[in-house]
Chains A and B, each alone.
Chain A
Amino acid sequence: MSLPLHDADAARQDWQATVIAIDLALAAPGSLGGVVLSGRHGPVRDALLARIARHHRIERLAAGSADEALEQGLDVAGTLGAGRAVRRRTVLERLDADPGAVLLIIGAERLSTRAGSRLARWLDDGDRRVPVVALDEGDESSPDAPAFIESALGERLAMHVRLPELTLAELQAHSGEALLGGALLPAPDDALAAAGDERYGAANGPSNRTPRHPAAPDRPEPRPDVPDERIRELVHLAHALGIRSARAPVAALAATRELASLNGHSPATLDDSALAARLVLAPRAAQRPDAEPAPADPGEEHAEADPANDPASDPASDPANASVAEPSAEPETAQRPETDTPAPTGEHDPDPSVREDTPASDADAPAPMNEPSAQALPERLVAAVSAALPPNLLGSLASDLGRTGRTPGRRGNGATRAVRGRPAGVTRPRSGDHGRRLDIVATLKAAVPWQRLRTPTDGPAAGSTSGQARLAVRPSDFRVRRHVQPLRTTTVFIVDASGSAAMHRIGEAKGALEAVLAECYVRRDRVALISFRGAGATLELPPTRSLARARRALVGLAAGGGTPIAAGLDLASDVLDDIVRNGERAVGIIMSDGRANVARNGLGGRPAAQADAEHAAERLAGVGARLLFVDTAPRPRPIAAQLAARMRARYLPLPSRGGAQALPGLLAAAAPDAGRAPA
């Protein structure tokens, strides 16, 4: 990141990988779709774009105006002028007519779902002669927006690279070097020329650009073979990285083939597939390749039914089951790739019980079955991928938690009937639309087609002074502006501050909370804090956006006394219910050991307290908030898991003694900024 740590070698390799990714995208839009460059605007990006522009016309599509640019429509002014229908051509129509072009999407992470899916459809259906270069300016450390890579369009663009961080001097040197002949490849242009790839368009200038027809019958020379072994490795690797989509390995295979073709290899070598894996698979990784338990016998892969896939894997019953079925094998003793990614918050402890205890969410978290382990994969492949893994990937526990803290976040439609928020086009007014602004231009546009039908007879226009020049506007023409207001999320922490919890690790819990608070602040979410101890529960902090207040409440959190879980959960129900009723999303994070000893009536006694707690948990389940139960007990017991199941919360035991200090780090994985700050 920062200069003192600047690694010139790594930067050069990154640069080369980026250049290759772009060349691949330009050479084979048909099978690869395109490339995503993530990173901020800057000289590096400019240099790369200039490289593309030397041989291709660049058609720009800015995220902000994408919806309109993609919409077919009638050019009203043109139609009236010409006396016949004049259609406005969409960007895609222009591109289809000009195969030498490149579609450059600026600010891809801000592309609306609508525009994104329109483009995805275009990639699916069209001839795909036009490569897409998407510039993703999203801040990857901010969990706010969903990552572009997970969107419908991002999914279909094979290569994703982070812009290399180069100094200016390096940029000059490398861009020269890469053009004259890099280490990994001959100079890209020469390579393409050497490969006789007529689809690329003959070398110089736009004048003699030849259209490329990947799907045309006169297909180019036979593509290099990719040995079965390579395919198997790529599929294994994708699985080991926790990549669910089948598109990723397919794209990785296509990229391998293209790379082999560019490099003049046939059949494709491990170098080709390693680089393809780095460009295609690594950025999509959901977990580290070595993050899974070793298989009993990696050589044996039967097409057996996967037990974990069985409908019987009811999430509610999962935690109990899973804690029994701990894998006996100690994972990853051997075979950690040498070029380990520097984990931002220190090494996580690969405690198998912890990972296994995390209940699998609906579809993610691949089940440990005929496991493709890191062992089964060539070290070079794993090393190549490890070097390019997303930085905040700590392991399945962290990513699982990260998800919990994040998926209830900001995805979805938001309220389109809002009167404030981001503008989202115009619409006809509907009943009950109060306070919405009239869009004059859109209204006039809507009225124009009717003029010839309206003028001859009645209407206010006819009665007005100089009828001819006026536009007859009727109520049906009115258009109002639409706004999208994202749903606000409020996260409520329900913290067990009883004596037993304090003994254990209230301090760690505080640290973890602070990390999550910072994350909420980044997302402009609100937070609230409830603590319970002694005889009852207190709302320490009503929902607020103020990070400072939240910190103060947290620091001042007193601990000691009995454990009135029922009271805490009851108060949580009230607070969360309020939030849900206000039309916001509510997330509750409960941190406790789940062992109640104070009942609702304030009296002690375990059985009664536990019964009350379960009752309160059921009530909480009905509120409609997303819940996460973090078990703070040093030795998690089924009782907490049961309680979590009652409230239908996701259950997460804290790592046992050894890994306890990892908690803040793990939570911080959801908010890498906060985690990294002290370092």
Chain B
Amino acid sequence: MSRPVFPFTAIVGQQSMILALELSAVDAGIGGVLVLGDRGTGKTTAMRALAALLPPISVNEGCRFQCDPGTPAQWCDACRAREPQPAAVERPTPVIDLPLGASEDRVTGALDIERALTLGEKAFEPGLLADAHRGFLYVDEVNLLEDHLVDLLLDVAVSGINVVERDGLSIRHAARFLLIGSGNPEEGELRPQLLDRFGLSIDVDTPDDIDERMLIVRRRDAFERDPEGFVAQWAAEDAAVRERILMGRTWLDRVTVSDQALRRITELCLALGTDGLRGELTLLRAARALAALEQAEQLDESHIIRVAPMALRHRLRRDPLDDTGSQLRVQRAIDTLGLAA
């Protein structure tokens, strides 16, 4: 765990993946990012890099659920009961890896076996969802995860609350995290029901350009040879992105959404025949996050157009044999509607 993390800004290419991650960092309510692509395309690197870039969070000391000292109303029972009030400490943004083999117990939390065995006490041991609160939950190869676990994750990701009703325990605790799933579509499909529950979906590929690939190899090599030095070299750029994201978070409320823009979003979704309202909501949130990231006062069509592919491409009516064209279909719909960037 002691290895330095490859800097976010040193990642070559992959603009749409980077944009999707930044948008989600601005507004976690977008609802998770799904990154699909071959191995060695920088999925894991980007996710880790983003987490390392984000500022530390402030938590109640000793709290297993990472309660935020700023919002006492949402504290867990343990924090409320504490006298005197717990002190606030800083902690890096949590990044929790969900291993493929994780059991449901481990994910949701379960009976604390140690205390049950030794003291005969019924106590709750928080799981990965609690650990990920206010941070990231990263599931590599999400397409290979068992369906019931994916269901559970997405439920919690959307509601922000983890409810445990098992082993004679009844617990609910806040678990608001950004869910990032990645996977290689050749190895197994994600069920469509799960697919459209991710807010944004990105396809990544290795760049075909030789110079770009050279750059990847050089940077990676420089990083491997001298991680600390390399990270220091990119620290300024990373800090700038961090500022942008933090600024975007505060800016989010300032972005106004005109009826006209909303209508455009609806038209686009209708033209594409996306199921349900989720597509529209996500498109709206993503476009607003982009506007906030760029510190625009008003959401305009260019914001919509730029995020439309990643917000909608996995919501189109599915075509079992051909989903490579989905990006194109979104683009076509944009063109027909005459939206202008």
Contacts and interface: CB of A to CB of B under 8 A. Distances in A.
Interface of A: 30-31, 67, 70-71, 74, 76, 79-80, 83-85, 113-115, 117-118, 121, 124-128, 146, 150, 152, 155, 215, 219, 223, 226, 231-232, 234-236, 238-239, 244-250, 253-254, 257, 301-304, 306, 308-309, 311-312, 314-316, 362-363, 366-367, 369-370, 372, 407, 411-413, 416, 448-450, 452-453, 476, 621, 624, 626-627, 648
Given A244-B40, A246-B217, 11 more contacts: A30-B224, A71-B101, A117-B141, A231-B218, A244-B38, A249-B217, A250-B217, A250-B224, A362-B324, A448-B117, A627-B321
Contacts of A450: 111, 116
Given A235-B213, A311-B327, A314-B324, A152 B39 contact: yes
B208 A366 contact: yes
A80 B220 CA distance: 48
B331 interface: yes
B206 A117 contact: no
Contacts of B217: 231, 234-235, 246, 249-250, 253
B140 interface: yes
Nearest to A71: B101
A407 B320 CA distance: 15
Given A232-B214, A367-B208, A413-B144, A79 B220 contact: no
Nearest to B220: A250
B42 interface: yes
Interface of B: 1-3, 37-42, 44, 97, 99-101, 111, 113-114, 116-122, 140-141, 144, 146, 166-167, 185-189, 205-206, 208-214, 216-218, 220-221, 224-227, 319-322, 324-325, 327-328, 331
B113 A74 contact: yes
B305 to A, nearest CB: 14
A628 B155 CA distance: 39
A64 to B, nearest CB: 15
6 contacts: A79-B114, A117-B140, A247-B40, A250-B216, A452-B116, A648-B319
B208 to A, nearest CB: 5
Contacts of B325: 314-316
B322 A648 contact: yes
Nearest to B106: A72
Contacts of A126: 1, 3
B167 A476 contact: yes
B170 to A, nearest CB: 14
A669 to B, nearest CB: 19
B200 to A, nearest CB: 17
Nearest to B41: A246
B143 to A, nearest CB: 9
A584 to B, nearest CB: 15
A316 B329 CA distance: 13
Nearest to A456: B120
Contacts of B213: 235, 238-239, 246, 249
Contacts of B121: 453
Contacts of B39: 150, 152, 155, 244-245, 247
A240 to B, nearest CB: 10
B61 to A, nearest CB: 23
A155 B40 CA distance: 8
Given A117-B141, A246-B217, A70 B209 contact: no
Contact of A113 (B40, B144, B209, B321): B144
Contacts of B185: 362
A443 to B, nearest CB: 15
A468 B216 CA distance: 66
Contacts of A303: 209, 211-212
B240 to A, nearest CB: 23
Given A79-B118, A624-B320, A239 B210 contact: yes
Contacts of A367: 208
Nearest to B228: A217
Contact of A215 (B2, B38, B328): B2
Contact of A304 (B37, B140, B166, B209): B209
A648 B3 contact: no
Contacts of A74: 113-114, 117
In the complex, the 7 A-B pairs of residues with the closest C-beta atoms, listed nearest first: A245-B40, A452-B120, A85-B114, A114-B101, A247-B40, A412-B188, A648-B321
A215 B3 contact: yes
Contact of B214 (A231, A245, A362): A231
Contacts of A150: 39
Contacts of B166: 476
A254 B122 CA distance: 52
A236 B209 CA distance: 10
B176 to A, nearest CB: 24
Contacts of A245: 38-41, 206
A481 to B, nearest CB: 15
A70 B213 CA distance: 35
A80 B117 contact: yes
A150 B187 CA distance: 10
Nearest to A454: B120
Contact of A118 (B37, B101, B144, B320): B101
Given A245-B41, A246-B40, A413-B144, A236 B210 contact: yes
A370 B125 CA distance: 56
Contact of A246 (B116, B140, B206, B327): B206
B329 to A, nearest CB: 9
Contacts of B97: 121, 125
Nearest to B321: A648
A124 B48 CA distance: 11
B214 A306 contact: no
Given A215-B2, A236-B210, A450-B116, A115 B101 contact: yes
Contacts of B206: 244-246
A372 to B, nearest CB: 6
A247 B39 CA distance: 8
B127 to A, nearest CB: 13
Contacts of B319: 648
Nearest to B111: A449
B147 to A, nearest CB: 9
Nearest to A360: B324
Contacts of B321: 621, 624, 626-627, 648
Contacts of B99: 114, 117-118, 121
Contact of B141 (A85, A113, A449): A113
A383 to B, nearest CB: 21
Contacts of B113: 74, 79, 85, 449
Contacts of A302: 211
A453 B122 contact: yes
A308 B209 CA distance: 12
Quick one: which of A76, A117, A648 has the most chain B CB within 10 A? A117
A369 B209 contact: yes
Contacts of B188: 411-413
Given A80-B117, A372-B210, A407 B186 contact: yes
Contacts of A115: 101
B314 to A, nearest CB: 14
A650 to B, nearest CB: 9
Contacts of B2: 127, 215
B173 to A, nearest CB: 22
Contacts of A239: 208, 210, 213
A246 B114 contact: no
Contact of A453 (B116, B209, B227): B116
Contacts of B225: 223
A626 B1 CA distance: 43
Nearest to A155: B39
B140 A315 contact: no
Contacts of A215: 2-3, 227
A113 B41 CA distance: 19
B221 A253 contact: yes
A250 B221 contact: yes
Contacts of B221: 226, 231, 250, 253-254, 257
Contacts of B101: 67, 70-71, 114-115, 118
